[in-house]
Structure 1
């Protein structure tokens, strides 16, 4: 874990080194000041030497200025180092998340990743700053103060040893108890973020079903859980202050009583006693700081572990040693393909799929809900890897291709269409960042998106809100299809991406595809048989098994599932899930 986190310090190593250097300098200067005060009292005030007072006073001012400068620089470099460390952590996590395959992403919840990128990183940032400053300052200050105290008077300094042992034991108990509660807080942060995310992303559904009160209660409960844990943790930490004060005042009383006796006996001076009292405060405050540092570090360990989970997670889909950088054509072959999302699962999602598809063919994919239609096409662009068998594109196993090369040649329009905040042009150019305005318009004509874009006052410069909330479901689908077409792919996958489009527009889109991109292999996943009946061939999936594969006429004649669904849909009585595939 330390190696993983330490690798993210990078260009802030200099700041991380200078921070403790300045903190040590500050402590050394602060340690010298009580000795100067003792000298002023013993050799200046009591001896009546005004010159000595001026000289030592001037030296104290210089030492104090050096201490102030060192403390300021330590704070400056510490802030820079910790903020830079946090920046690098967020960047490293975000970049690693981008490399994840779908199976990697499935291991983390969205809310969990958000918590790691925000709260957990902030905790580590604070802990790192305390590590560079307080973790250096407190023990050095403690050691220096103890050394100076024993140097002045070993007998009186022994009081500190007893105090340090007692206070150390009590603070250790407090730290352990508080750490237990802090460890339980972070999963509850995930619940809180999940509640917010679900409510905001599904606000229309919440309002449509008048469930605002329910969502408020859910959020309140998640927030209350965090509150309760922090109250328990802070309740334990609250003992720090009274324990600290009891020990400090006990030391002061003991030092004053014993010191007074020693002054009367002539074995201790007034200045030395004042210095010992000052070192007493230094020692006790150092222990107090150490206790807070331990609590913060204990709390940040949980955050560090969660962050390392993301940083150490490696994509299970990577480039081979000598990848292929050219896809010959859009032919696709499924060679005895078996696929499981969970490798330990007994029942496969796809079982022994054997298909051979020629380049340029239009392939329909039909099946009931949960029949693994999307899982089948996800294997083509290697969003998942097969468990057994092989998927070949252009005559080569998809695992032999460079990932970027393969995915550049496969355009996918998913069921959940996503548009980003920006103009229509900017969204379209996700398909090809160098596409000209005319190429964008041509893609929109093929997707029948130009019909509604031309009606917008700003046309293709119309601003799309985040998630495409200011366009309808059908408009969003057509924009996503146009975006996919701009890639000029060898394979185009439409995963139920015309479900919100009327039948006439659906037919126009399919006709445009047949005429304009005849060399592109097209996979059309649909629930409506009318969307795929003109395809060159149609795959009928049933519970992860290919139940039929042929033309519309061949399946009507030979496939019971396809025939039953066709008859139910043409008679207007149902959809695919109500037919023979149910």
Structure 2
């Protein structure tokens, strides 16, 4: 997977990679030519006392050295340009893929793991591309060129190279083979640390409310210790590799000095030749060491590439149709036709046999006990999930045949846990529609019963909102989320228990404003409070994933035992009759 990923993304930067190859070749040629000039100075200039030759050759060496530096800088620049661009493209594609996921795929991978894959894992591949374009290109040039130049200097000492290079490769292979599984484990442990950290930061108020700081600190300590143990094992292998490599290098140099000295003493070669041979041996082993360093990075990058590939290869269950329908025959209509839904791996369906409809402009409420499947039911309308049985029709078209962008443009969703983005009140409201005017924002806030508290903020619409809306109360967050959905001007509004944080008075005013200002908008309301849904055109009662009744408030009080139990649990069994219920609601 690593090779495919690098080829796919680095191929977009062919010109930069060509520059790397050219500049690295020039730099390697300069590095290989310098020892030859050094040998000439020793053997000819120093031996013959020719000062002019020494100055002229030394000057040439200085020029070549500066040229080598410039070539190396240029090669590094081109490599950085290609690697950073590839990293940017990978992150963009991973983000685009994750953005198209349904909640099923997000849950399957885990939010923490997806963040790690798009940051740390991409960074590992990006660094490999960067180092590979420099070290991995230079290493064979130095090693092969060094061998050729060393043999030209003294064939009699070539056996030292033939021994030292295989020994170095064997050492590297033995150590790296033990690193590969450790790198995979390390990335998994990193996912665990990110998951624990994310949970603790997101649920910090719950942790403090239940005085769980010590327990959560222990959870993090265990996850942190696990990654430390794996990292220490990897570090131990690193520590072992480079001393062994340097041992081979130093022994090789000692061998060259020892056996080269014997040849010099016998008059077979000159001292400059031995100096040059030593430098070439150093370049050969340096090339091997650079390759070894890259082979250390490759296993970890390969693990990261596999994890990135899992995301890029994943297919969202929200398949876009080949011939999408964007011209809807009945805007604002919603119909469930014998709909069922089962979560992956679940033993039983969450929903089964759900059938009802909502005409444009109608209000349909969904009520039921906790865990009865109300939120799942609402999530099927904007196609956050796909029904596993039956069909969900929105705007008169099966959502699986509808153009997703057109479908989402016509639906405004206020989730059970409203989320606000870091920015301002205005930027959060314009998340619904970017071209909304300030007047439209204030009008939406007025409908959502949020105008009063927003106008009291220091900067009004420009007041800052922290990430997640943590600097406003739960009720204010809900009303801002409702205003955001209204700004969208959708044909269908979905309220997933979106009034739970509001007091009864604000709840009543909000509903009256919605019904009055948006008469033509279809409203699907999931609610826990019976008083919120008594005016609905139809109420769907869900129990255990099945429909336990459908009708108006009065019809259900008369004919649905489940609905009567819900009313009785909230308003008292003795006052659960139709007349008393209406009196209680009006009161």
Give the TM-score category using the shorter length: over 0.9
Distance of 1:534 and 1:216 partners within structure 2: 49
Using the size of structure 2 for normalisation, the TM-score is: 0.94
Using the alignment, how far apart are the partners of 2:352 and 2:438 within structure 1? 45
Secondary structure at the counterpart of residue 7 of structure 1: helix
1:337 to 320, 331, 339: 339
In the alignment, what sits opposite 2:49?
Answer: 48
- Give the whole-Å Cα distance in 2 for the aligned partners of 1:17 and 1:225: 43
Task: Map 1:6-405; keep pairs closer than 5 Å.
Answer: 6-9=7-10, 11-327=12-328, 328-342=330-344, 345-405=346-406
The superposition leaves residues 518-568 of structure 1 with CA deviations (integer Å, 9 ceiling, x where unpaired) of 221111101111111221110011111111111111111111111112122
Aligned twin of 1:458: 459
- Three-state SS of the structure 2 residue aligned to 1:419 is coil
CA-CA distance at 1:56 after TM superposition: 2.0
> How far did 1:492 drift?
0.8
2:581 paired residue number:
none
Deviations 1:437-486 (A, max 9, x none): 22212212211112322333433332222211121111111111111111
Q: How far apart in 2 are the matches of 1:211 and 1:60?
A: 68
- Alpha carbons of 1:364 and 1:565: their partners in 2 closer, same or farther (altered >3 Å)? same
Give 1:214 shift: 2.7
CA drift of 1:572 comes to 8.1
Shift of 1:10: 6.0
- Structure-2 separation of matches of 1:353 and 1:525: 15
Deviation at 1:242, TM superposition (A): 2.4
Question: For 2:449 and 2:63, how far apart are their aligned partners in 1?
Answer: 79
Q: CA RMSD, aligned part only?
A: 2.0
SS for the counterpart of 2:419 is coil
Q: 8 Å contact 1:325–1:401 — kept in the other structure?
A: yes
Query: Structure 2 CA distance, aligned partners of 1:186 and 1:506?
Result: 48
Matches within 5 A, 1:507-526: 507-526=508-527
Q: Deviations for 1:139-160, whole angstroms, at most 9, x for unmatched residues? A: 2111111111112222211111
User: CA offset at residue 134 of structure 1?
Assistant: 0.7
Answer yes or no: is the 8 Å Cα contact 1:537–1:549 preserved in 2.
yes
Task: Name the SS of the counterpart of 2:130 in structure 1.
Answer: helix
Structure 1 contact 9–88 (Cα < 8 Å) conserved: no
- 1:440 aligns to 2:444 (yes or no): no
Deviations 1:223-256 (A, max 9, x none): 2222221211111121223222322222222222
- Tell me the distance in 2 between the aligned counterparts of 1:573 and 1:5: 72
Q: Matched residues in 1 for 2:22 and 2:225: separation?
A: 43
Partner Cα distance (2:574, 2:288) in 1: 78
Q: 1:286 to 1:10 in 2, by over 3 A?
A: closer
| Deviation of 1:206 (Å) | 2.3
For the pair 1:545 / 2:546, whether they are aligned, the reply is yes
Residue 423 of structure 2 corresponds to 422
Question: In 2 relative to 1, CA 572–27 (structure 1 residues): closer, same or farther, beyond 3 Å?
Answer: farther
Q: Point out where structure 1 has 5 or more consecutive residues left out of the alignment.
A: 576-582
Per-residue CA shift, 1:395-414, capped at 9, x if unaligned? 22112221111111111100
Using the TM superposition, give the Cα deviation of residue 211 of structure 1 relative to its aligned residue in structure 2, in angstroms: 2.7
Q: Which moved more, 1:102-111 or 1:299-308?
A: 102-111
Q: Secondary structure at the match of 1:530?
A: helix
Report if aligned partners of 1:337, 1:391 keep a CA contact under 8 Å in 2.
yes
Decide whether the 8 Å contact of 1:568 with 1:574 is kept in 2: no
After alignment, is 18-27 or 468-477 more displaced? Answer: 18-27
2:496 corresponds to = 495
Query: Quick check: 1:319–1:403 contact (8 Å CA) kept in 2?
Result: yes
2:530 alignment counterpart: 529
Distance 1:461 1:53, change over 3 A: closer
Contact 1:5 1:308 in 2 (8 A): no
Moved more, 196-205 or 495-504: 196-205
User: 2 CA distance for matches of 1:55 and 1:30?
Assistant: 18
| Cα distance in 1 for residues equivalent to 2:180 and 2:40 | 45
- 1:26 touches 1:66 (CA, 8 Å); kept in 2? yes
User: Secondary structure of 1:399's partner?
Assistant: coil
Q: TM-score, normalised by structure 1?
A: 0.94
Pairwise CA distance, 1:429:
1.4
Q: Closer, same or farther in 2 for the Cα pair 1:538/1:150, shift >3 Å? A: same
Stretch of structure 1 that moved more, 43-52 or 23-32: 43-52
After superposing the two structures, state which structure 1 stretch, 402-411 or 197-206, moved more.
197-206
Offset at 1:33? 0.9
Alignment of 1:463-482 (within 5 A): 463-482=464-483
Deviations 1:2-25 (A, max 9, x none): 334433336533222212321222
Is the CA contact 2:6–2:129 (under 8 Å) kept in the aligned structure 1? no
1:407 is matched with which residue? 408
Q: 1:89 to 1:159 in 2, by over 3 A?
A: same
Which residue number corresponds to residue 578 of structure 1? none
**More displaced, 198-207 or 119-128?**
198-207
Would the alpha carbon gap of residues 426 and 242 (structure 1) be closer, same or farther in structure 2, given more than 3 Å must change?
closer
1:444 and 1:193, CA in 2 relative to 1: closer, same or farther beyond 3 A? same
Instruction: Kindly state the Cα deviation for residue 265 of structure 1 after the two structures are TM-superposed.
Output: 2.4
Partner SS for 2:108: coil
What are the superposed Cα offsets for residues 477-499 of structure 1, whole Å, 9 maximum, x if unpaired? 11111111112211111000000
1:212 positional shift? 2.6
CA distance in 1, matches of 2:228, 2:126: 22
Structure 1, residues 319-364: CA drift from partner, whole Å, max 9, x if none?
322322233321211112222221x655222112222222211111
Deviations 1:262-290 (A, max 9, x none): 22322211111111111121122222221
Q: Is the 8 A contact 2:391 2:398 kept in 1?
A: yes
Q: Work out whether residues 5 and 305 of structure 2, in 8 Å CA contact, stay in contact via their aligned partners in 1.
A: no
Q: Which runs of 5+ in 2 are unaligned?
A: 577-587
CA drift at 1:105: 1.6
